[in-house]
Amino acid sequence: MPLGFLAVFTQPNSSLPLEEFHQWYEEEHIPIRMNHLKEFLSGARYQASQPFQTDLGWLAMYEIDDTKTFSDPKYTSLREKRSEREKQVMARLEKLVRILGEDSGVYDGSSKAGKSTGMKVGNPTRWVVTHALYGQHLNTEDLVAFRDKLRESLGNSWIGMRVVKVLEKAEVGLGSVPVSSKSEKDEKEVEYLVIHDFDSEEGESKCTLHQVQTALEGHCRVEEWRKWTLYKAYPGIAQEFI
């Protein structure tokens, strides 16, 4: 029963005020998932922490009980039967990237007591860096070696990383017009989403793409480098009714 992971990167366009965007998320989008689907274990939203990161300014991430949930009608119907309100919001997104993945595990960077781990509501990670990895398949030994190299270069502020193998990736632009597609060459590559957790803003700011690429020792290439600050974490309220 592999754990699932869902990440959604979004950018409202100029016709969608941030206030309306947040109200839709808080009043409809999040409650439908976190309050009613027990398969959604936890969730959190982040905002871009780099001023030049304007193409995708918002990130929502969810821990899912099983990758089978992605094909469950309880989940797929959420997109198939959108409310009128959601349709109007979606039509005014400049860009949206949705990633469905298999959680390959969390690799701790430090054993320091009290450090935040993941998206727990009581003590969520406040600063994260995300990036894609493209290349060969990474086994547990590869990921442990990657973790150990990062421990050396990133220091105690680095809490650890979550590695997600991408199963499906959809990217759309304004009005749901596709803005990218994978080439035949890209289809042969394995893609991962990596989320690095930090316990301080300073630690996050000092983390560089070069450090991560060096730690990989040529196994994969790093792309889509982004830095984020916690906006809000959400409890899996539906879990209370199991």
Please give the domain boundaries of the chain with CATH numbers for all domains. Answer: 4-241 (3.30.70)
Residue type, position 45, single letter: R
**pLDDT bracket for residue 184 (50, 70, 90):** very low
The pLDDT assigned to 237 comes to 76
CB 129 within 8 A of CB 198: yes
Q: What are phi and psi of 95, to 5 degrees?
A: -160, 145
Cα 146 to Cα 188: distance, rounded to the nearest angstrom? 22
pLDDT confidence tier of residue 71, bands split at 50, 70 and 90: very high
- pTM here? 0.90
pLDDT-derived band at 235, boundaries 50, 70, 90:
confident
pLDDT in tens, 17-61: 999 999 999 999 999 999 989 999 999 999 999 777 778 999 999
Q: What angle do CA 207, 208, 210 make, to 5 degrees?
A: 140
pLDDT at 185 over 50: no
pLDDT at 132 over 60: yes
Confidence of residue 210 (pLDDT cuts 50, 70, 90): very high
Which token pair is 141? 């030994």
Q: Select the more confidently predicted residue: 227 or 178.
A: 227
Kindly tell me if the per-residue pLDDT of 87 is higher than 50: yes
- Taken in order 103, 115, 61, 183, the sign of the CA dihedral is negative
State the CB neighbour count (10 A cutoff) for residue 226: 19
Q: Looking at residue 131, what is its pLDDT?
A: 97
The residue that leads in pLDDT, 96 or 218, is 96
User: What pLDDT score does 110 carry?
Assistant: 61
Per the CB < 8 A criterion, the answer to whether 239 and 63 are in contact is: no
Task: Quickly list DSSP for 99-159.
Answer: EEEEEEEEEES---TT---TT-SSS--SEEEEEEEEES---HHHHHHHHHHHHHHH-TTEE
Assess whether pLDDT exceeds 90 at residue 115: no
